[in-house]
């Protein structure tokens, strides 16, 4: 079941659901808007990404004014808000329609597992033929919350739990990619 604004407010007031900082106007009828942080990551040019050895060269950028995403460019961003989900609530990350209509694809693999806490790392891709400028603090995406039918046996305790700031891939930590598992 997707949570309404009333349920979201109640869970926040009870301390069950955490969103920090939270501004009341970001709560929509069935979601909460999240804002774009000021930290970004671009992957190095010409490098090969080997999933067993990590993401290779990354370039961190911190901007105060704006970031420009070139056509067909991919970069990572973070949200301003730090999220804390209880063991019985999951969330979907959805890009804003107004930005999608400009050709900006916004993802985070689309899903936030029950028990996750941290800032959300977003994958941004400019599918347009012209650059798109984004500004820290602007609304970038929304979280849609859903209640699980029951508490899972294993809530999220993965490699991104507690992340702060933009966090590049940690795929090299996956057990199935271990050199020893060949």
- Is 61 designated active site? no
- Measured on CA atoms in the order 6, 26, 124, 78, is the torsion positive or negative? negative
**Eight-state DSSP code of residue 16:** S
The reply to whether 119 sits in an annotated binding site is: no
The reply to whether 101 sits in an annotated binding site is: yes
**Cβ pair 124, 79 in contact under 8 A:** no
The reply to whether 159 sits in an annotated binding site is: yes
Q: Which of 94, 107, 123, 172 is catalytic?
A: 123
The reply to whether 98 sits in an annotated binding site is: yes
The reply to whether 122 sits in an annotated binding site is: yes
The reply to whether 123 sits in an annotated binding site is: yes
Q: Is 5 helix (H, G, I), strand (E, B) or coil?
A: helix
Taking the CA atoms of residue 19, residue 23, residue 26 and residue 30 in that order, the dihedral angle to the nearest 10 degrees is 50
Q: Tell me the C-alpha to C-alpha distance, in Å, between residue 158 and each of 96, 155, 176.
A: 27, 9, 14
The reply to whether 85 sits in an annotated binding site is: no
The reply to whether 163 sits in an annotated binding site is: yes
Tell me which residues are annotated as active site. 123
Annotated binding-site members for dCTP: 96-101, 113, 121-123, 142, 156, 159, 163
Annotated binding-site members: 96-101, 113, 121-123, 142, 156, 159, 163
């Amino acid at each position: 079941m997707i949570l309404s604004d009333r349920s979201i407010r109640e869970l926040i007031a009870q301390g069950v659901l955490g969103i920090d900082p939270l501004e009341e106007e970001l709560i929509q009828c069935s979601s909460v808007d999240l804002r774009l942080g000021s930290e970004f990551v671009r992957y190095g040019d010409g490098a090969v990404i080997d999933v067993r050895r990590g993401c290779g060269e990354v370039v961190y950028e911190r901007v105060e004014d704006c970031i420009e995403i070139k056509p067909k460019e991919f970069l990572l961003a973070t949200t301003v808000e730090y999220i804390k989900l209880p063991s019985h609530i999951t969330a979907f990350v959805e890009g804003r329609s107004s930005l999608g209509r400009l050709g900006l694809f916004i993802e985070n693999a689309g899903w936030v597992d029950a028990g996750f806490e941290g800032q959300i790392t977003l994958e941004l891709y400019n599918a347009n033929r012209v650059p798109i400028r984004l500004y820290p603090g602007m609304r970038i995406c929304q979280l849609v919350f859903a209640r699980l039918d029951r508490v899972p046996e294993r809530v999220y305790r993965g490699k991104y739990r507690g992340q702060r700031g933009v966090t590049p891939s940690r795929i090299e930590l996956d057990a199935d990619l271990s050199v020893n598992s060949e």
